[in-house]
Amino acid sequence: MTTQFWEKSTEINATLTSLLVNPVRRGLLRHKSKLHKASGRVATCRQTSPFISQGWWLLRKRLLPLLCLISFVAVLLLNSFAPAVAQLPPQPRQEIRGVWLSGNDFNIFRNRSKVQAAMSQLRQLNFNTVYPVVWNDGYTQYPSAIMQKMGIPFFFKGTDGQDVIADIISQARREGLLAIPWFEFGFMVPLSSELASQHPDWLTQKPDGTQTSISAAGEVAWLNPFHPEVQKFFTELVMEVITQYDADGIQFDDNTSLPVDFGYDKYTISLYTQETGKPPPPNPQAQAWIKWRADKITAFMVDLQQTVKARKPNAIFSVAPNYYDFAYKLQLQDWLNWVRLGIVDELVMQVYRNDLESFIAQISRPEILETKQVIPTGIGIMAGLRNRPVSISQIQSQVEAVQQRGLGIGFFYYESLWDIASEPVAQRQSAFAALFPNPALRDISQNTPRKPTFDTISLPLYPKPSLGQRVRGYFLEMAIAGGQPKRILLDTGSAGLRVPKEFLGNAPIRRTGQNIKEVLSDGTILEGELVYTNVRFGLLPTAEPVPVQIVTGRQCTAQKPNCSAKSNVPFSGIIGVNYFEKSLPYNPLRKLPGNLSNGFIVIGNGGSNNNGSLILGLTANNQAGFKMAAWSKQSEINGVPGNRWDSQLSKVCLTIAGSSAKNLCNGKMITDTGTINGWTEFKSASTVGKLKPGVLGSGNSLKLAMNGIFDYSLTPGTRDGFNRWNLSISPQAELATFVNSGIAFFDKYDVLFDQVNGRQGFRSR
């Protein structure tokens, strides 16, 4: 691993205090490692097998209450670290017994016979995984068509001119080992590399304009992980490896990240300013600035994982980071969120420390306890360096500590296992045989897609869209087909995702050739093809492709010639989340994974410029305080998952001052974030008496109520246009009285939509 050296303070301070730097040698593969230096000893306890005798039985019987109490307290202490995610029972996981094949090892692996001997030896010692490096130093370690197209030379070949990566993967598979290529350098490149020289606009920088940092690999620059061209380049390399070698997976380590001091290049400053309305703070460790950058890296990793899985569903998406506090705060690598989002299939956390007490503290951290419940989890152990061998006794004690906690192991690196150690080769190999006495085979056919471990999650609802001049609305940030995130109108009054074609990225799309039309309440007709593609809500991907209408045409109905299409304002997209689907496309929230698809809550912003919230996934806790009204069940529609509901609320009482509508309780109503102005439609003119259709004035105060559910009043006005109320008379209307409460309703009530039980909830704000 490309890593840094630092001293450990008595408080295990994460601040980097010292760096051991190896010189950069262009064109050569270098030696990199990470050591946490600490002192101290750890006490170990051994469990003695019980004797089956009456004396021991009596002793155990007397101690049983105390043991139960100790166990109960231990559970309480452990649960005090639990995050707000689903608590999953421990599951049997394939044990990781891996070794990294680093740049140093390639002097060995250039020779075919030595590759064969090495894989055979690893198999005999019951290892099960190898991680050969395929990307470091700004170059690939395999012949890459992508790099060749860029004019970047390929230096590394086997002694017979062979493709070394192909040889390693072939020989590993022959021995029953998984081969997971390793992208060692991530976004890190030497400033002198051809890649950095050809694309200076791909590099990011510190606040003072410097473009490099000091690492264990020397002085390096950083590709900007937020730049779409960098993301495209990195994704193409990954997919080239997955496709060219049919690899068992792909691994990213601590350098698929960005040091916290970086991100002050022109592109990132512009992007941050565009999204937040202000420039990045001068302090690189400002919490909101850290989170924004870390979330952008997470979003890229979500899209990358979906791209990999689309090509090879069982491929292992592996990460090998530093411990979490360091990774997030100093490297913007929020790997725990990656695990919770369900995009990581295995994790090997690097813990390169000599002191056993410090080592044990790191492998016992809450995030490791959480991660090992859901995916194979291992610990990276330093097996030695050329100028700093590690004794076999240290390796044994660390392996035993890891195994006692039910964790797997990855050794850095192959040559240091026994070839450059202080003990004889036979002694080292005998020790490894004792550590792994039994086989632990791995099979990627069992690597099935995971669901996020969240029971519920809150996403921001923005008051402004990415496009258009809409006065008021709630906009959800989404990425469609791997495109750039766009803020799309959240519409609780319609169903289906409808976006302009320019919102789409380059991810796979399944076309249907079916052209569909949707007529909005203001008379706008949306036309375009129905397709299926992956969608990401914030950082959260759908479990599978969802139907999307790609809008290529807009026009007004003859009855409403002044609709929004007439203004030529750019279409900002609509995500309809109503469960009263009439046809495809349906509410895409139905395709969220796990508990997150069972319903949602909209929390408005009270008419301010602050963000509202969309809470996905209903739980007992977040439903507290809501008063529920039932929907009626509708017949199912082929191709629409889950139940279909008529989400029009019945028996709504309506009063409009100055009209004949006095406490009418036969009305139907929907709560609709997609409509700026509330409105009432009457079938009969006699219901409103002398009141004329059109915009109501302040003298026409209005009241909506459901017995014991909500009691809402509004004085029509013009404040930002959101509390206006329209009245219409339509003899052809199906209902005697129909009310659309509009977006102002959400200023006074949080609204819950329960698609499992067919209910709508209201909680006064």
291's CB contacts (< 8 A; 6+ apart) are none
Both tokens of 566, joined, read 């007439």
Task: Locate 495 and state its tokens.
Answer: 């169903």
CA distance readout (Å), 257 to 222, 305, 585, 679: 9, 15, 37, 50
Coil, helix or strand at residue 528: strand
* pLDDT(559) > 90: no
Residues 191 and 82: their CA atoms lie apart, in Å, by 42
Please state, for a pLDDT cut of 70, what percent of the chain lies above it. Answer: 87
Count of CB atoms within 10 A of residue 314's CB? 15
Residue 445 CB burial class (10 angstroms; 0-12, 13-18, ≥19): exposed
Alpha-carbon distances of 501 from 451, 483, 549, 586, rounded to whole Å: 29, 10, 9, 19
What average pLDDT does the chain have? 87
Q: pLDDT tens-digit profile of 115-139? A: 999 999 999 999 999 999 999 999 9
Strand, helix or coil for residue 460: strand
Q: Quick one: pLDDT at residue 237?
A: 98
- Output 17 or 342, whichever has higher pLDDT: 342
What pLDDT does 86 receive? 55
pLDDT tier for residue 219 given thresholds of 50, 70 and 90: very high
Tokens of 324: 């979490």
The answer to whether the CB of 38 falls within 8 A of the CB of 355 is yes
- CA-CA distance, 377 to 575, in Å (whole number)? 37
What local confidence, expressed as pLDDT, does residue 607 receive? 78
Q: Give backbone dihedrals phi and psi of 67, rounded to 5 degrees, phi first.
A: -60, -40
8 Å CB contact between 497 and 548: yes
The mean pLDDT value for 77-91 works out to 43
Kindly indicate the confidence band of residue 572, based on its pLDDT and cuts at 50, 70 and 90: confident
| Separation between Cα atoms, residue 617 and residue 343, nearest integer Å | 19
Residue 198 has pLDDT above 80, yes or no: yes
**Pick from 510, 559, 503, 505: which is nearest to 530 by CA?**
510
Provide the whole-model pTM. 0.83
**pLDDT per residue over 590-648, tens digit each?**
999 989 999 999 999 987 888 999 999 999 999 999 999 999 999 988 888 889 999 99
User: Both tokens of residue 438?
Assistant: 């039994």
Give the Cα separation of 668 and 650 in Å (integer).
Answer: 5
Q: At what angle do helices 324-331 and 287-311 cross, to 10 degrees?
A: 110
Is a pLDDT exceeding 90 seen at residue 246? no
Lowest pLDDT segment from 173-177, 352-356, 430-434, 663-667: 663-667
Cα dihedral 617→619→624→630 (10° resolution): 70
CA triple 561-565-566, angle to 5 deg = 55
Q: 3-class DSSP state for residue 427?
A: helix
Burial call 14-48: b when 16+ CB within 10 Å, e when fewer: beeeeeeeeebeeeebbbbbbbbebeeeeeeeeee
Q: Is 363 helix (H, G, I), strand (E, B) or coil?
A: helix
Q: Which of 15-29, 55-69, 252-266, 703-717 has the lowest mean pLDDT?
A: 15-29
Phi, psi values for residue 566, rounded to 5°: -70, -30
Order the strands of the 218-222 sheet from edge to edge.
188-189, 218-222, 212-215
Closest alpha carbon to 514 in 448, 574, 584, 581: 584
Q: Under a CB-based contact definition with an 8 Å cutoff, are residues 253 and 1 in contact?
A: yes
Determine if residue 406 is left, alpha or beta; phi over 0 gives left, psi from -120 to 50 gives alpha, anything else beta.
Answer: left
> What tokens were used for 313?
């569903």
pLDDT at 720: 60
**Tally of CB atoms within 10 A around 428:** 21
What is the pLDDT averaged over residues 88-96? Answer: 66
Give me the pLDDT at residue 582, please: 86
Helical (H) or strand (E) element with 603: strand 599-603
Question: Region 454-474: what's the mean pLDDT?
Answer: 86
Main-chain dihedrals φ then ψ at residue 290, nearest 5 degrees: -60, -50
163 falls in which pLDDT band (50, 70, 90)?
very high
Determine the angle formed by the axes of helices 164-174 and 228-245, rounding to 10 degrees: 50
Task: Name which residue leads in pLDDT, 261 or 638.
Answer: 261
- Mean of pLDDT values over 519-535: 93
pLDDT at 78: 34
Looking at mean pLDDT, say which of 25-29, 481-485, 752-756 comes out highest.
752-756
Side chain identity at residue 394, one-letter code: Q
Average pLDDT over residues 501-520: 93
pLDDT, tens digit (0-9, with 9 covering 90-100), for 3-51: 332 322 322 233 333 332 333 333 333 333 333 333 332 333 333 333 3
* Cβ atoms of 760 and 627 closer than 8 Å: no
Buried b (16+ CB within 10 A) or exposed e, 142-180: bebeebeeeebeeebebeeeebbbebbbbbbeebebbbb
Band of the pLDDT at 215, cuts 50, 70, 90?
A: confident
Q: How confident is the model at residue 94 (pLDDT cuts 50, 70, 90)?
A: confident
Backbone angle region of 641, left / alpha / beta, with phi > 0 → left and psi within -120 to 50 → alpha? beta
In the block, which residue shows the tokens 């086989």?
A: 439
> Rounded distance, CA 471 to CA 486, Å?
17
Q: Note the helical H segments in 80-156.
A: 106-109, 112-124, 145-149
Q: Please answer whether residues 385 and 416 qualify as being in contact, where contact means their C-beta atoms are separated by less than 8 angstroms.
A: yes
Two tokens at 359? 């080592």
pLDDT surpasses 70 at 52:
no
Beta 384-385 vs 759-764: how paired, if at all?
A: unpaired
pLDDT for the residue 69: 42
The DSSP annotation for 720-752 comes to GGTT-EEEEE-TT-SSSEEEE--GGGGGTEEEE
- Above 60 in pLDDT, residue 88? no
97-101 and 129-136 as β-strands: parallel, antiparallel, unpaired? Answer: parallel
Q: What is the pLDDT of residues 636-695, one digit of tens each?
A: 888 888 899 999 999 999 999 999 889 899 999 999 999 988 999 999 998 888 888 999
Q: Helix crossing, 112-124 with 164-174: angle to 10°?
A: 30
* Lowest pLDDT segment from 59-73, 244-258, 299-313, 585-599: 59-73
> What's the CA gap between 116 and 102, in Å, rounded?
17
Q: Where are the beta strands (DSSP E) in 503-543?
A: 509-519, 524-533, 535-537, 540-541
Bridge partners of 705? 653, 711
**Structural domains present in the chain:** 6-39+94-446 (3.20.20.80), 457-611 (2.40.70.10), 646-764 (2.40.70.10)
- The encoded tokens of residue 534 equal 């992956």
Report the pLDDT value the prediction gives residue 293, as an integer from 0 to 100: 98
pLDDT digits (tens, 9 = 90+) for 291-337: 999 999 999 999 999 999 989 999 999 999 999 999 999 999 999 99
